[in-house]
Amino acid sequence: MTNLCLGCRINKILVLVLAVLVLGLALTNVLALKVVLAVAGLLVAGVLYSRILNLCHEIHVLDDLCAKVGDGDCSGRITRIRPNSELSRVSDNFNRALDQMETFFRESRAAFEACSQRKYYRFCITQGMHGNFKDGLEHLNQSLNSMATSNEFMLRNEFLTALAGMNSEAMQGDLEDTVSDSQAILQCVQEIVHETEKMGAVVSSNREKVEFSKVRIHEVQEQGAASNKAISELQELSSEILSHAKGIQSIAEQTNLLALNAHIEAARAGKHGRSFAVVANAIRELSDEVHRLSEKTMQNLNRLAKQGELVEGSAKIMLSEIDNIQEVMSEVLEASTHTQRAVQVTMNGIRTVKSQAETTEKRAQWIKLKQTAFLAFNHGHDSQEALMFKTAHSGFNDKEFRLLQQAVMRMDENFRQDREQQMEILNIMQNMGGTGSKSFLELDQNFKVGRVGEHVKSQGLLKAVS
């Protein structure tokens, strides 16, 4: 019976007073005193009775509240309890317990709701909570924290998957273009190889022809030089003949002079000289004839010399022309050597390009295949697209392909939740038109701080991208 409350003490005193009054009433014989004691006793009994009634009422209130709490309703409280009454401390403590309970439930509920809306800054507030309630909220905060972490991770995965999906679709188109481009390049290169080979052959054949012409021209040159020599000799010969002719002419002139003298002497001799005069006359006629013939010969020889000079001149011109032609042909030959080498280098280069283009085409084909697989499995591991792909490539058992399958399976799990969020991301991505690294980093950052919703909605991000 330690630490009694004020109400209890009053009750105790009232009971004692009542007991004393009853005892007094029993012991006294004085009527007046009996009456006084009886009245006082009735008053005390009345006060006690009223207090007991109040207490009963308050106990009933408390009982009702306990029943509500038992039914899981913590919203009730005890109010208007008489100050310092028997139940005031009980009700205060009970209210305190209910405050802790109700706050606990409201905090945990609000924090989990916020977490599901990705408001990770809203965790359970433990300030003012006590004992098990405080511990409980701290534990919930740990759970919320790991939920936030895994949500972030999931969001990242979804985002990356969506990004990869979009990239894949774009890449698929790009790859198709690349493959067809590579094929076109290959065809062009093949044509170039063909034409270059033809050109090489033409260059070689031209070179042979030039070499042949060079030999022929050399022959012509030699012949020209021989003719030149012959003409020189002819000219020498004709000048010699000319000097001989001049000699003959001077002999004819002397003979004529001699014949004239002989004729004079014959005339002086008279008759005896007549026959001599005939001879002298015949000699003069002969010498005239010789003079005339040698004159004609000289004229002819002069004409011959002139012709020879002309022939010699044109032979020299011809020879110098042949020299020029030979020079030009040497240059042509040298140039054709260069051309031949260039053609060879070009051919080597083109062969390299051709083999590179073939490799590129094969590589592009391979990437295209992987992308097709990715897109097919992106629809789900058991989707129609995936099944079609598996059927089409049943013999396909590459290591990378298996890795791809595993990645796709993981992706399937991550894709189950939060369709709405996913659609939002996809819309954003499509609005962006491309996948700039800046926007990617921003989105990524927002995932980390858990403010995707607001930032996805805000036009600021789109502005940053455009």
Partner 1 sequence: MYGILNTMIRPEPNNQEKILRESDFIVSKTDPKGIITYGNQIFIEYSGYSESELLGAPHNILRHPDMPALVFKLLWDTIKQGREIFAFVKNLSKDGSFYWVFAHVTPSYSLDGRLSGYYSVRRKPKDGAVSAVVPIYSQLLKLEKEHGRSRGMQLGSELLDRTLSEAGMEYDEFVLRLQNQ
Binding interface with partner 1 (CB under 8 A): 73, 75, 77, 79-80, 92, 95-96, 99, 102-103, 106, 110, 119, 121-122, 125, 127-128, 130, 454
For residue 369, the minimal CB distance to partner 1 (Å) is: 45
Nearer to partner 1, 73 or 138 (CB): 73
CA dihedral 95, 97, 101, 106 (to 10 degrees): 50
For residue 374, the minimal CB distance to partner 1 (Å) is: 37
For residue 44, the minimal CB distance to partner 1 (Å) is: 28
Nearer to partner 1, 297 or 446 (CB): 446
Nearer to partner 1, 119 or 214 (CB): 119
For residue 383, the minimal CB distance to partner 1 (Å) is: 39
For residue 128, the minimal CB distance to partner 1 (Å) is: 3
* DSSP symbols for 394-452: TT---HHHHHHHHHHHHHHHHTSS-HHHHHHHHHHHHHH-S--HHHHHHHHHHHHHT-H
Contact status, residue 408 vs residue 375, Cβ threshold 8 Å = no
Residue type, 394: S
Nearer to partner 1, 73 or 222 (CB): 73
Classified as helix, coil or strand, 230 is helix
d(Cα 175, Cα 265) in Å, to the nearest integer? 130
Give 84's DSSP letter. Answer: T
Nearer to partner 1, 79 or 397 (CB): 79
Nearer to partner 1, 99 or 181 (CB): 99
**The two three-digit tokens of residue 146, written as one number:** 């790991």
Classified as helix, coil or strand, 381 is coil
Nearer to partner 1, 287 or 446 (CB): 446
Contact status, residue 171 vs residue 371, Cβ threshold 8 Å = yes
**The two three-digit tokens of residue 460, written as one number:** 């600021």
Closest CA to 119 of 109, 127, 128, 111: 111
Closest CA to 336 of 217, 210, 218: 210
Nearer to partner 1, 68 or 244 (CB): 68
For residue 87, the minimal CB distance to partner 1 (Å) is: 14
Closest CA to 139 of 153, 129, 154: 129
Taking each continuous run of H as one helix and of E as one strand, the counts in the chain are 11, 0
- Tabulate helix, strand, coil % of the chain (nearest 5): 85, 0, 15
Cα separation values, 310 from 67, 121, 182, 313, Å? 150, 116, 70, 5
For residue 442, the minimal CB distance to partner 1 (Å) is: 13
Nearer to partner 1, 65 or 376 (CB): 65
For residue 104, the minimal CB distance to partner 1 (Å) is: 11
Q: Report the b/e string of 320-352 with b at 16+ CB within 10 A.
A: eebeeeeeeeeeeeeebeebeeebeeebeebee
Residue partners of 365: CB distance under 8 A and separation at least 6: 179
Nearer to partner 1, 80 or 463 (CB): 80
For residue 457, the minimal CB distance to partner 1 (Å) is: 11
For residue 439, the minimal CB distance to partner 1 (Å) is: 17
- The C-alpha angle 367, 176, 187, rounded to 5 degrees, equals 105
For residue 464, the minimal CB distance to partner 1 (Å) is: 14
Residue type, 127: Q
